[in-house]
Amino acid sequence: MEFEKVIKERFSTRKFSDKKVEKEKLEKILEAARLAPTAKNMQAFKIYVVESKEGLKAIDEATKCRFNSSTVLVICGDKEKGYYHGDHSFIDIDTSIITTHMMLAATNVGVNNIWIGNFEPDLLKEKLNIPDNLIPVIVMPLGYKTDDFKPSPMHTTRKNIEELVEYR
């Protein structure tokens, strides 16, 4: 897909059908994460692909926002190996870039997605047996929207460019 079209076509999906994400598509999405830039190229992240019944149950315990997806990514930053500028950790930034790459890569191959920040990280860590050094930053359900799902009005609510950008 042409790049501008990918950006325009992406929207948050909040109702997924039972159709599974094909392995080849999932691999393309994950490859987009691998190629993403990270601070000092530390690549201090781990992505858990959650597809098992027990794993999806754990997601449901940690968030209300799975929306029936059967492939959920949990994107974690490594607080021990990630880059710090003084006291400031870059793992939130790194994981956000990685996730943005994956959102756009998913859209490019026709896989719907949503960025979820509203979840209980400690509960998710415990339920998915995630090591202490890894911090779950983002949960991203993937899949195919149901026929009746329409993007929320927020999708088209954007400020004007003049409000967001100043030239100095």
Which residue ranges make up the site for ligand FMN (CB under 6 A)?
11-12, 14, 65, 114-118, 151-152, 154-155
Nearest residue to ligand FMN, scored by beta-carbon proximity = 118
Query: What is the residue whose two structure tokens read 């027990």?
Result: 54
In the complex with ligand FMN, the residue whose CB is nearer, 131 or 153, is 153
Rounded Cα distance between 92 and 98, Å, is: 10
Q: Are 76 and 133 in contact (CB under 8 A)?
A: no
In the complex with ligand FMN, the residue whose CB is nearer, 158 or 168, is: 158
Phi, psi dihedral angles at 71 (to 5 degrees): -135, 110
Return the number of the residue (41 or 157) whose C-beta is nearest ligand FMN: 157
Q: Are strands 71-78 and 134-143 parallel, antiparallel or unpaired?
A: antiparallel
In the bound state with ligand FMN, the residue whose beta carbon lies nearer, of 14 and 101, is 14
For residue 143, the SS3 value is strand
Least distance in angstroms from the C-beta of 122 to ligand FMN: 16
Q: How far is the CB of 142 from ligand FMN (least distance, A)?
A: 14
